[in-house]
Amino acid sequence: MRPSLTFDPLDGSVAISGVPIRLRGGLSREAVSSALAPLYRSSLDHGNGYEWLSFHGGTFGGHPCGFALLFRQGSMTEIHFNVMLPDAEMENGWPTKGAIDDEVAFARKELSTQLGAEIGDRGVTFSWGAAWSTFDPKGFQASSGVRYAG
């Protein structure tokens, strides 16, 4: 069974079933890397203090998902995720705009339910940070995630 991601409305932290720590802003790269080692996929170090760690094999709202964590100077600041919906329409191996819109709608609905606040076109702001799900025209993909304040 794949581990599920669940967002906490009180602080935006993310519980992942079977993982001993909750993901939240300020966690060290080392702590996260160790705890999420079985889900690790890749990393991208920009050489300027920003590094992404990517993971796969999770679920969000009952559907398979991948997620990436952004670290600034070794401290976690964001989590981005994508959801693979069943029967998503593909064209040349890539999701169509309709499939992307479906993913955004699903992620908004599930994030709204988990966080207890409506995720609209511009996302929503909390005392602990912000959450969003929108179409990214530059990358031609869904963009969903949480950014932590501070």
Whole-number pLDDT of residue 66: 97
Residue 45 to residue 47: CA distance in whole angstroms = 5
If one counts every other C-beta atom within 10 angstroms of the C-beta of residue 73, the result is 10
Strands 50-60 and 63-72: what pairing? Answer: antiparallel
Whole-number pLDDT of residue 1: 78
Amino acid letter for position 129: G
Query: pLDDT tens digits for 20-58?
Result: 999 999 999 999 999 999 999 999 999 999 999 999 999
Query: pLDDT tens digits for 55-93?
Result: 999 999 999 999 999 999 999 999 999 999 999 999 998
Residue 145 has pLDDT above 90, yes or no: yes
- Helices (H) and strands (E) counted in the chain, each on its own, are 2, 11
Amino acid letter for position 33: S
Whole-number pLDDT of residue 12: 97
Query: Are the CB atoms for 83 and 63 separated by under 8 Å?
Result: yes
Q: Which residues contact 41 (CB under 8 A, 6 or more apart)?
A: 54, 55, 56, 66
Residue 150 has pLDDT above 90, yes or no: no
The tokens of 36 are what? 């999420």
Whole-number pLDDT of residue 115: 98
Number of domains in the chain: 1
Q: Name the 3-class secondary structure at 55.
A: strand
Range of the domain at 78: 5-148
Secondary structure E strands in the chain: 5-7, 14-16, 40-45, 50-60, 63-72, 75-83, 90-91, 94-95, 124-126, 129-136, 141-148
Residue 140: band (very low, low, confident or very high) from pLDDT cuts 50, 70, 90: very high
